[in-house]
Chain A
Amino acid sequence: MGQLSGPTDPTADAHWHTHEERKGFFTDTSICIGCKACEVACKEWNHNPRDGDLDLTGMSYDNTVSLGASTWRHVAFVEQDRARIEEARESGRVLVSLGMPQVRSERDVTTSVTDLSGGDLSGVDTTPPDTPEFRWLMASDVCKHCTHAGCLDVCPTGALFRTEFGTVVVQDDVCNGCGTCVAGCPFGVVERRSDGTAAPTTREGQKKGEQPPIPNKGVAQKCTLCYDRLVDGQTPACAKTCPTTSIKFGDHEDLVTEAKARVAQLHAQGMTEARLYGANELDGVGGTGSVFLLLDEPEVYGLPPDPRVCTADLMTMYKRAAMAAAGMVAAAAVAFLGRGGRGA
């Protein structure tokens, strides 16, 4: 393990001369009320333009659709019926050991979705609460600030860098808009900002809002975890504004501990659908700086179930390439030897 995959301290790997605790988010979707204050606070602070063409999507209360160049916090709204709730509860139950002898140790689990409560629930009543007829999931998504950040690792210009807080930030004035990072992100977070204006509407009696000039056109844009606030000892805008503390900000290590405790608490209440996302440092991105508590499988929220940074396999690829090269050298050598033999 080391700088390309597995558990590591990304700040140390980046050779920072100062030491700051790694910072991150813990987004507890079980207490999110979908107010979208995080989306608005983020745009306000970062001067991001509004998105889209101001049409209703018809997708529940989600009208900003996904994370993108200008939407760095995005709240998903998922409406589910009883059958789906029961499936979620069951898929979560599989993650929980429920006190059964563990087939494999936690250290071997390499998926992003984990129970990680360390919970032996054999002693507690895990009878689920009455399964409701219906539920409405809300979850605020954000850049994951991966331990091994694909966007950063593939950036050819050095526009993306690892901060002293372990976060990943784009330098707008360095980025040349090549877009390699867009493909490098396993979560689909990074996006190049288009000119940001919506197509003019043709609908009668409706005038679409005008925007001031769009900054940073054409360059890669994503959440900075409010780097400019962090250097002043401030909380990122989204976490600061969240009225229910669904978005928690702090030292990554503390947040993971808190997240595990919260999952254990929900499990003890019978909510086996609760699970953590991104808290496992053995997953394909070495764990994420932004950790989530979800109430269903990640796909339901539009998150990849098993994200894998493109550099994770680099060593293997190098080895294979080296082996192949060695083989070819050997083959060439053999060929020369053979020729030499014939010539002799």
Chain B
Amino acid sequence: MANADCIVLQGGNMAEAHPVGFQWVSEAKARGARVIHVDPRFTRTGAIADRHIAIRAGSDVVLLGALINHVLSNDLWFKEYVLAYTNAATLVSEDFRDTEELGGLFSGFDPATGQYDLQSWAYAEAGGDGGVGSPSGQAGEHGSSKSDRAAGDEHGSGGPSLEHAEVLRDETLQDPRTVFQVLKRHYARYTPQMVQELCGISEDDFTYLADSITQNSGRDRTTVFGYATGWTQHTLGAQFIRSAAILQLLLGNVGRPGSGIMALRGHASIQGSTDIPTLFNLLPGYLPMPKVGVHDSFEDYLEGIASKRQKGYWTHADAYTISLLKAWWGEHATADNDWCFDYLPRLSGPHGTYQTTVGMLADEVEGYFVLGQNPAVGSANGRQQRLAMSHLKWLVVRDLSLIESATWWKEGPEIDSGELRTEDIDTEVFFMPAATHVEKAGSFTQTQRLLQWRHKALAPPGEAQSELDFFFKLGQRIRAKLADSTDERDRPLLELTWDYPVDGHGDPDPEAVLAEINGRFVSGPDAGKPLSFYGQMATDGSTAGGCWIYTGVYADGVNQAARRVPGGGPSPSQHEWGWAWPADRRILYNRASADPDGKPWSERKKYIWWDEDQGKWVGDDVPDFPEDRAPGARPDPNIGGPEALAGDDPFIMQADGKGWLYAPKGLVDGPLPTHYEPWESPVANSLYPQQQSPTRVVFAREDNLGAPSAGTRGDEVYPYVFTTYRLTEHHTAGGMSRWLPYLSELQPEMFCEISPALAAERGLENNGWATIISPRAAIEAKVLVTDRVKTLTINGRAVHQVGLPYHWGVGTHAVVSGDAANDLVGVALDPNTQIQESKAGSCDIVAGRRPRGQALLDLVADYQRRAGATVDTDNVPRVTDPEAETVTPRPDGEVSGEDGFSRW
């Protein structure tokens, strides 16, 4: 980011939520970069930005789509880059129909499941009709199946699979079926006027933003985007990010210094927790968790990741998977038993946080480990979370202090409201004290994929343990209990490699875990030696490695993540500080930093280039490309794998080697980002008859009612938009900040931020109290009346926004406490990722404190009644206006969710 000429921070509040990383923005600014902050509120990021542009929460695709349209219709795209490095010239199947043709839906919508049949979105097949399909093992996996396993998350280190990489291209871009023309048509109605109408952004601000981005892109200059949960936490969050990706590819801002789209991570190692996942749907290195019916055999599983006939490094997924299974089950994993593939559990449906919560309420879940999170405060629809936990038999909370998730049974809001009585709760709650980050060694992986080793500064107090120690000992105890078992289901546990060396206190050595993750040769001449590159991983069981993308972090038996040369050494890529996956490449897809002939695009943005004399790629970074593949190389795409990559295929993890403007696969809600309103919104979608994302995942339940959206009865009852966010002074649900006096005093009380206009409309006073009501809950907060929140004019009428930090929770153990903003949030999810929509919802706000006890429940119920909110609200029908939208077959017979979980 420090090398960027223009930085757009949208969907994130970098200065406040990522202040340490913000040093690079400060550095870029000191060098003259322009910084623009697009956010519903004027934040601390806005304070030092060159311009803050206020936007209505949830309308970002309109703005980004209009920027795409601006770039295309004014011929501002980076032609050489786009032609050579993206799929702009690739032809899309004749079966594909765009939202422009079908009134807001893409072809293939299946009203029965509320998801798409994805086949018509494919690239055109060379031989005539149809599209380039999926590898045989996965032929046409339906969107509903992909959504259930949040398959979108698999693309954390590379693109979706294609049957083969032989695609049709029209280099003139004139064919109406080229991606380029499809893109043009799709965004034609995303205009500055539409931005003004739906986002509340003036044409002057739009022009400023558009000019800043386009004037700071091209051969000599680069623009970078930074986003965080302001983009991800929407029912179409993945598409927010996709629209930025399209824009950046069109402007040539990927793979170059100061370019890209930075996913600003909210915790020290959230990147690490997806690389080596704590998610239900992933295995290490973005290998999918197998699913019943899709990945029944090992062959099905491997083909589902990548076809051997596609391009790039995903074709070696078999080596990565087998090495992982060897790392886990050692000598027990053999070719004869498919390397213990059947020891892996199988997904049978969506097992994300919110489905699990609903499962608890249905008494289908007995026990719950809560680590590094505080769901009673930090998860959407907090009341649902707390009531769900009251159905558990046992609950383990591992944290630094007695967070609200460990105390809801005696002092949660439901005790006060009378919904729960402590003596009636059968849940046995165990609290396990946890070591802090300075009391344990390990690595953090940050947003740049950089692993930084952390040494232990002091021993944890009392019985506090590190996660590593806790799980190591837990595993030992479970294995001891099962030692005599002959039950087949216990084999995976008993045969697991679980033999880490321990120190004098009996604690496992974190470096031994790092070495296991890195991988080693298990047989052959180098047996026992660490691997140094994932390309060494083999399919014959001669290598083991816990996470293929991390291979090299322990190369030569040295902890590369612990490198700490000040400033990272003399190289511009700062190579001597930490270690970046994959293979210590600091900028991904950096082949794109040179032109198709291998020369730097400009002296100013020189990074990696082809050295004719040496016959290899050289420069400031490790080339993210086959080192000796000449720019002019054009191997037969049908040979498959890295060998099939042409010299101008920089995107080596994509099945066709190109950056995807149009995504024929990989997303379940559309190959191109399309604006839909949030699940509940007081604003009507003026782009399409379809109001909300048709594929949104909803939970039609009495404890998760939605506010009537614009144009439906009762839409005046919850007239305002609320959005939630973090403050610098606190950490997420407060477990690491509200117990600390020095942080608590800086932001001591829960507050809401509103504009003077809304304050006048509702009689609210600065530093007075307000009650905020959604269909899920009512909470109270102090009021900050400020010009930092603007009332926006949307579709010709004033739309007020209410800003809510979500750090506080109800309890007596913290230094400061207060009502939790997340209690207001409804559970509606992005079908690609199963992430909840926390960043836009509907509410009312009135002056004064909230009622206590039963009166609080009455207030919420009264609002629900006035709005006529039922389990069908915002959920049925799925398609807003079947008359205006073309769906085949007709969406007759839509049914509402019965009791319990509905997969819509």
Contacts and interface: CB of A to CB of B under 8 A. Distances in A.
A31 B44 contact: no
Which of B52, B416, B787 has the largest number of chain A CB atoms within 10 A? B787
A79 interface: yes
Interface in A38-58: 39-40, 43-44, 49-52, 54-58
A138 interface: yes
Given A35-B16, A36-B746, A54-B815, A134 B782 contact: no
Contact of A33 (B42, B48, B50): B48
B766 A58 contact: yes
B780 to A, nearest CB: 11
B47 A34 contact: yes
A213 to B, nearest CB: 13
Interface in B640-676: none
Contacts of B818: 206
A16 interface: no
A34 B728 contact: yes
B731 interface: no
Contact of B788 (A50, A64, A136): A136
B632 interface: no
B766 A138 contact: no
Contacts of B29: 31
A55 B815 CA distance: 12
Contact of B747 (A32, A61, A133): A61
Interface in B268-284: none
Interface string A228-264: 0000000000000001110000000000000000000
A49 B744 CA distance: 12
B22 to A, nearest CB: 6
A136 B46 CA distance: 8
Interface in B782-834: 782, 784, 786-788, 810, 812, 814-818
B44 A56 contact: no
A343 interface: no
A40 B787 contact: no
A237 to B, nearest CB: 12
A49 B30 CA distance: 36
Given A54-B748, A132-B51, A138-B44, A40 B742 contact: yes
A64 B746 contact: yes
Interface in A95-144: 129-130, 132-138
A54 B744 contact: yes
Interface in B406-423: 416
A44 B766 CA distance: 32
Nearest to A135: B47
B753 to A, nearest CB: 10
A208 interface: yes
A242 to B, nearest CB: 9
A208 B744 CA distance: 10
B26 A50 contact: no
Contact of B744 (A36, A37, A209): A209
B51 A35 contact: no
B297 interface: no
Interface residues of B, number: 46
Centre residue among B26, B48, B51 by max chain A CB count within 10 A: B48
B746 A63 contact: yes
Contacts of A133: 787
Contacts of B76: none
A207 interface: yes
Contact of A63 (B20, B741, B747, B817): B747
A132 B416 CA distance: 47
B300 interface: no
B22 A34 contact: no
Contacts of A21: none
Nearest to A36: B746
Contacts of B746: 36, 39-40, 63-64
Contacts of A30: 48
A79 B810 contact: no
Given A63-B747, A134-B788, A138-B47, A56 B22 contact: no
B816 A54 contact: yes
Nearest to A56: B749
A188 B782 CA distance: 30
Contact of B22 (A51, A135, A208, A243): A243
B39 to A, nearest CB: 13
Interface in B712-763: 727-729, 741-749, 751
B745 A60 contact: no
Contacts of B50: 129
Interface centre among A40, A129, A208, A243 (most CB of B within 10 A): A243
A79 B44 contact: no
A55 B748 contact: yes
Contacts of B572: none
B156 interface: no
Given A34-B728, A40-B742, A245 B26 contact: yes
Given A35-B16, A134-B788, A243-B23, A56 B751 contact: yes
A52 B749 contact: no
A293 to B, nearest CB: 13
Given A35-B44, A136-B44, A207-B812, A243 B745 contact: no
Contacts of B42: 134, 136
A81 interface: yes
Contacts of A136: 42, 44, 46-47, 788
A211 interface: yes
A129 B51 CA distance: 10
A40 B743 contact: yes
B782 A56 contact: yes
8 contacts: A49-B741, A50-B744, A56-B747, A56-B751, A79-B787, A133-B787, A209-B744, A209-B814
Given A58-B782, A206-B818, 4 more contacts: A40-B742, A40-B746, A58-B767, A60-B786
Query: Closest 5 interchain pairs by CB?
Result: A58-B767, A209-B815, A50-B741, A54-B748, A136-B47
